[in-house]
Structure 1
Amino acid sequence: MPLTALEIQKAKPGEKVVKLSDGGGLQLWITPDGAKRWRLAYRFGGIQKTLAIGVYPAIGLKEAREARDSARRLLADGQDPGLVKKTAKTARAISSATTFAAIAEELLEKKRREDKAPRTLEKVEWLLGLAKPAIGSRPIAEIAATEVLDVLRKVEARGRLETARRMRSTIGEVFRFAIATGRCENDPTGALKGALVTPVARHRAAITEPEEFGGLLRAIATYDGMPETTTALKLLALTFVRPGELRSAEWCEFDLDTAVWAIPAEKMKMRRPHRVPLAPQAVDILKGLRAITGHGSLLFPSVRSPSRCMSENTINAALRRLGFGQEEMTGHGFRAAASSMLNECGRWNPDAIEAQLAHIEGNAVRRAYQRAEFWEERVRMMAWWADQCEEMRGSGVAER
């Protein structure tokens, strides 16, 4: 006799599984823990089988009967309902593993295993996150160039031209990874070259004239903020490393006796270890800083937590406070300033300057030559540069 909704609702568990029949093989199994599960008993190929339909009340009586009727139609057509359900589940799992979001996550995991710089990973993850709401759930093999273009155009419409350009490249990397792993056959981003507005190249703001740079150095000397911030600005001027490399610097990387700062590969943009010769002025500054932060591991700990380094905004905020707008000078601008003046003076081999800037030479033999031949020149160059900074700070004029 068919079940009723009230009968199902009032049914109580027993010491063993209680089975209530609705007819046509449909049963409601009530387990001792009180759970109620729909099951369909059927025979296929002379073998008694059971098909799980779902849990009550998520699957009500009406839905359970519809599932039973669908299974009976499959049986009439010579198909095993259990096998059909298993095949569909496998297909869904495969489909889920081939979505853009799933493959993007695989690519990110690959980059993590390759020990990419944390900042690089953050940027890639952020760019992919902008694309996922629109195409993340789509099977990657079905995504057309027009869909990707629509995602990029929305970013472009907000005035983020450079972000849209980088997104196209990053999305293309996901497609190429999918091609390499056999989950799609083409990269639609290739067809989008020229479809986006080309951003106008903007160089990081930097003061590159000696007289103006001297004014900057004098302003830094009068900075009345945190002493750690003043020190960071002075060291950026003397070492012209990337701001992130300075902010994350640890005392264990410094040998003040030999005047060398050895930056490990994992902190470098190009993932190669880098050595910085320290001029006597830089060593003196570091000795003064050690009295302030030498009790911890970081040279520039955050004011909020000693285990975290200074915020990336601190240096630029200090420059703004000193009166230098973002179109005039940035923390990264110290690199351009040093590079410009070192090259213009004509004293130093351009390759030695590039080596000190940690710009990677593409030729492996040339890289090895740089490491072997330019260290002594770089030591002399960094000492000369520190003397020049002192001269510029004093008079605003330096040797050209």
Structure 2
Amino acid sequence: MASKLTDVRIRNAKPGAKPYKISGGHGLCVFIMPAGAKYFRLRYRYAGKEKMLSLGVYPEVSLKEAEAGAAQAHVLLRQGTNPSEDRREKKLLLRQAERHTFAFAASLWVEHNTPRWKPATLEKVRQYLDKDLLPSLGKRPLGNITPMELGAVLERIERRKALNVAKKTRQWLAAIYAFAIAKGLTASNPAIHLGSIALYQPEPKNHAHIGLEELPKFLKALETYDGSVLVKTCTWLGLWTANRPGITRTLKWSELDLDQGLWTIPKGREGMKRGYSHVTPLPTQAVEALRTLEPITGRYPYVFVGRNDWRKPLSDGAVTGLLKAIGYSGKQTAHGFRHLVSTALNEKGYDADWVERQLAHGDPDEIRGTYNKAVYLDQRRTMMQEWADYLEDALRSEVLQTVRKRSDASR
């Protein structure tokens, strides 16, 4: 009967000119190599043939660990399983799992859904993946990613106050993992409970804005403002176009074609929601007002330059300061002009799609399958000119008459 293997016995075994083994019973042995390396091996029989299973190198693998490995192999043998084949299969599964990274699953998910998505949706998904998910998760095996790891990714998004992005990201993470499970790429979905740790997202509040019946009084107060002509024109431009305040105050001369009466906001422009491009028709009143500013700021990048540094745009509090100065603090905000214009145009009976496009709501690629960034431009040009004329009339009237459309714009 072979002597029991002990650490002392293995440690004292000296290398010889040829490899030899010392046995410890039940097939467990240690091969001593001429160079001094000592390998644990398990000799066993399967299907009538003698086999050998490697259990590691001493002392990196301890005797206790080697004995545990041998005991596990004997359990498999009693179950009719070849330990060597079992190990080979597990290694193959592990290699496959390593190849099944988050990036791999995400790319298959995108490819699968591309035919059913609109171009804008596809672009949005890729932007979210490239910016927020792939940098930290891309190379990670799907099965190794934990809920805590995904939670950390979402927390980074929430810290920059992008709660809508975080919400969409949670949905897409769950969808990617559901797809991966169905494809056999992983067995679990760590994204399934992420909603329970989402930050509370309050209901959006409308920005303060006056009613249409107050418009004549407001416009008269605005017209009598005798402060900065830049701030005053910026305020009027917000009324004439309904563009976002941040976009309006950072308007660049390079974005304007006054001869054509167009303001083109390029894709990726800072301050533009989700970086969409947008074309704004300019009514004649806006063109005239902007031309009066060319001798003042035409040599600078920005139309509405900063008071202290003409290389920078107007501050974000400039229009707020004007509204306070004319007595409308808390009653009307720069962003509230968008609500005011939207209400008026809808009450005038204009097509809702024209109004939504003028307000740059949503991606232009998603509007009724039209893939022209200047969708409804002709209709909107007529609509916004009529709106500017309406403001001009309101400025000169004592009582605003019932809101009505001047003429039927071509549909």
TM range (shorter): 0.5 to 0.7
Pairwise CA distance, 1:294: 0.9
Cα 1:370–1:356 change in 2 (3 A) is same
State the partner residue of 1:337.
Answer: 340
1:257 aligns with 2:276: no
State the partner residue of 1:375.
Answer: 377
- Alignment deviations for residues 55-97 of structure 1 (CA, whole Å, 9 cap, x no partner): xxxxxxxxxxxxxxxxx9649989xxxxxxxxxxxxxxxxxxx
- For residue 310 of structure 1, the aligned residue among 299, 311, 314 is 314
Query: Which residue identity is paired with 2:394?
Result: M
Pairwise CA distance, 1:245: 1.8
Pairwise CA distance, 1:169: 5.0
Distance in 2 between the 1:226 and 1:197 partners? 42
1:221 aligns with 2:227: no
Distance in 2 between the 1:325 and 1:288 partners? 28
Pairwise CA distance, 1:334: 1.0
State the partner residue of 2:328.
Answer: 324
Distance in 1 between the 2:268 and 2:289 partners? 25
- Alignment deviations for residues 156-205 of structure 1 (CA, whole Å, 9 cap, x no partner): 9xxx9x87776555567678789999x99766554254676865523322
Which structure 1 segments of 5+ residues have no match? 1-43, 49-71, 79-97, 99-113, 133-138
Distance in 2 between the 1:312 and 1:320 partners? 14
Distance in 1 between the 2:312 and 2:177 partners? 37
Distance in 2 between the 1:395 and 1:296 partners? 37
Q: Is the 8 A contact 2:278 2:374 kept in 1?
A: no
- For residue 286 of structure 1, the aligned residue among 283, 290, 298 is 290
Q: Is the 8 A contact 1:279 1:383 kept in 2?
A: yes
SS where residue 367 of structure 1 aligns?
coil
Query: Which residue identity is paired with 1:286?
Result: L
Query: Which residue identity is paired with 1:379?
Result: R
Q: Is the 8 A contact 2:225 2:232 kept in 1?
A: yes
Cα 1:369–1:283 change in 2 (3 A) is closer
Distance in 1 between the 2:399 and 2:198 partners? 45
User: TM-score, normalized by length of structure 2?
Assistant: 0.53
- For residue 389 of structure 1, the aligned residue among 388, 391, 402 is 391
Q: Is the 8 A contact 1:342 1:353 kept in 2?
A: yes
Cα 1:369–1:176 change in 2 (3 A) is closer
Q: Is the 8 A contact 2:365 2:371 kept in 1?
A: no
1:273 aligns with 2:270: no
Trace 1:138-157 onto structure 2 (pairs within 5 A): none
Pairwise CA distance, 1:344: 0.5
Trace 1:87-236 onto structure 2 (pairs within 5 A): 167=166, 169-170=168-169, 188=190, 190-193=192-195, 199-207=201-209, 209-236=211-238
Distance in 2 between the 1:301 and 1:115 partners? 34
Distance in 2 between the 1:186 and 1:332 partners? 45
User: TM-score, normalized by length of structure 1?
Assistant: 0.54
Q: Is the 8 A contact 2:170 2:195 kept in 1?
A: no
Pairwise CA distance, 1:210: 1.9
Query: Which residue identity is paired with 1:339?
Result: S
Pairwise CA distance, 1:302: 2.8
State the partner residue of 1:246.
Answer: 248
State the partner residue of 1:56.
Answer: none
For the pair shown, the structure with the greater C-alpha radius of gyration is 2
Query: Which residue identity is paired with 1:276?
Result: T
Q: Is the 8 A contact 1:210 1:396 kept in 2?
A: no
State the partner residue of 2:53.
Answer: none
Q: Is the 8 A contact 1:172 1:187 kept in 2?
A: no
Cα 1:276–1:200 change in 2 (3 A) is same
- Alignment deviations for residues 80-120 of structure 1 (CA, whole Å, 9 cap, x no partner): xxxxxxxxxxxxxxxxxx9xxxxxxxxxxxxxxx998xxx9
The alignment-based identity, stated in percent, is: 29
- For residue 356 of structure 1, the aligned residue among 344, 351, 358 is 358
Cα 1:165–1:355 change in 2 (3 A) is closer
Cα 1:45–1:359 change in 2 (3 A) is farther
State the partner residue of 2:299.
Answer: 295
Cα 1:345–1:169 change in 2 (3 A) is closer
Q: Is the 8 A contact 2:281 2:381 kept in 1?
A: yes
Query: Which residue identity is paired with 1:244?
Result: G
Q: Is the 8 A contact 2:358 2:380 kept in 1?
A: yes
SS where residue 280 of structure 2 aligns?
strand
Distance in 1 between the 2:352 and 2:265 partners? 22
CA RMSD of aligned residues (A): 5.1
Pairwise CA distance, 1:355: 2.3
Which structure 2 segments of 5+ residues have no match? 1-31, 37-57, 66-100, 102-121, 404-411
Query: Which residue identity is paired with 1:283?
Result: V
Query: Which residue identity is paired with 1:209?
Result: G
